[in-house]
Amino acid sequence: MSLDTDAARFLDAATEGLGLDDDACRMLQTPFREVTFEVPLRRDTGELTVFRGYRVQHDRARGPFKGGMRFHPDVDLDHFRALAATMTWKTALVDIPFGGAKGGVACDPSTLSAGELERLVKEVVQRLDPIIGPDLDIPAPDMGTGPAEMAWMMDAYSDVHGYSPAVVTGKPLVLGGCPGRTEATGTGVAMATERVCADIGLDVDGATVAIQGLGNVGAHAAMALHERGARIVAVSDVDGARHNPGGLPLDTLARRLREDPEAKPPPVAEVLPDAEEMDPDDLLTLDVDIVVPAAIGGVVTPEVAEALRCRVLVEAANGPTTADAHDVLCGRDVTVVPDILANAGGVTVSYLEWAGNHSRTPWTHERVMARLAEVMFAAVDETRSRAAADEVDMRTAAYRVAVERVRRAQHLRGV
């Protein structure tokens, strides 16, 4: 099976230089298991709505399947195939003992009450029950889900199997969550950015940054880059964008994140009510040092790639750059920090959470951040060295490091 997704094209391009035979390449492209299911939900009004759910498990040669649950109206099986494979390469690149999976529900969570969401999540777990588990497949947050949804998932699974905190990661702290998981992806984005920028002679202290999407990843990336001295000049969410070339004031956002760290970050208009509005379509092509897409996939099209004016594009979102746009960027002087590297901080801290749940050993925030920095810096350095040695871009280099690890595990296990 060969999928015509951008993720499949990135894999093909990377494996070309690795001397793998056709069967090995087919194995790397082929998901282990794909499940689609219907999720009926009794609405608060008494009405019945039926949603479609998905879980794609791509590879488990290096450990249990691992990856987030996305609740978003525009998802389908192809999305999850690409996202599940991306998880396999991400966990391999940062060398944590997991495979890759992704799932979710085609729904708009902003239109559901808290009670409806809880019932929906618990129905989802009933359908996923045979294929998830603490050593089988461990879901986590992604777009449209967070600690609350993970708590409901754990509760529904534990009802059947007994107390099982390690069945999901990204849980609230009081339920076995890990200090730092909520901000891990965004903080990891800042760590990777800092390391790559140092390598190309760009000081993050004083650099200008535009961020698309101010959700879990974007909001914490904004805070972590701001703490490193960067000037965040533009941010957006689905309702619009705000801009200030002198730097946006982030104190309200910081306070709101501090007050309720496990809540969904507040809308841009609420935390930056006085900042100038801008056309969100212009955000990615602003004249800034660093651009961070941190929302949906496919936003960096060939046209956007041609028009980018930044020095560094940091892929905090999964799959923000299409394969055609990647080809354009390879011919331009823009350093691209690929998604499987840039946003690997989340799953890295998920691993610490899962390991801590298994061993019943709590983590401190300080130790988590120190470990996260070690893992992110090592992955950046390995990717940069591989890119230099093979004379390829960072995405191809990151895929090559990851694919070799997965292939070796498959080979040793006799796949």
Ligand X SMILES: O=C(O)CCC(=O)C(=O)O
Binding ligand X (rule: CB under 6 A), the pick from 107, 140, 268, 291 is 140
Residues designated catalytic: 102
Is 388 within 8 Å of 75 (Cβ atoms)? no
State in angstroms the smallest separation of the CB of 256 from ligand NDP.
13
The DSSP H or E segment spanning 36 is strand 33-42
Helix (H/G/I), strand (E/B), else coil: 2: coil
Round to whole Å and give the CA distance between 219 and 241.
13
Q: Name the residue with tokens 């944590």.
A: 96
Instruction: Give the separation between CA 171 and CA 189, rounded to whole angstroms.
Output: 21
Q: With respect to ligand X, which residue has the nearer C-beta, 328 or 380? A: 380
Q: Which residues of 129-138 are buried (b: 16+ CB within 10 A; e: fewer)?
A: eeebbbeebb
C-alpha to C-alpha distance for 3 and 16, rounded to whole angstroms: 16
Binding mask 14-53 for ligand X (x = CB under 6 A): ----------------------------------------
Q: Among the candidate windows 11-19, 48-56, 135-143, 202-210, which touches ligand NDP by CB under 6 A?
A: 135-143
Contact pick of 343, 357, 383, 396 for ligand X (by CB under 6 A): 343
Q: Does 347 bind ligand X (CB under 6 A)?
A: yes
The only residue of 88, 208, 318, 357 in contact with ligand NDP, by rule CB under 6 A = 318
* Alpha-carbon span 122 to 87, nearest angstrom: 24
The minimum distance between CB 91 and ligand X, in angstroms, equals 8
The option from ligand X, ligand NDP, none interacting with 144 (CB < 5 to 8 A, set by class) reads ligand NDP
Token duo for residue 405: 């690890």
Helix axes 147-161, 114-128, angle to 10 degrees: 50
| Stretch binding ligand X (CB under 6 A), from 118-126, 219-227, 340-348, 360-368 | 340-348
How are beta strands 231-237 and 240-243 bridged, if at all? antiparallel
Q: Specify binding-site residues for substrate.
A: 66, 90, 350
Binding site for NAD(+), residues?
A: 185, 216
Annotated binding site: 66, 90, 185, 216, 350
* Interface contacts to ligand NDP, rule CB under 6 A: 141-144, 185, 212-218, 236-239, 267, 280, 294-296, 316-318, 343, 346
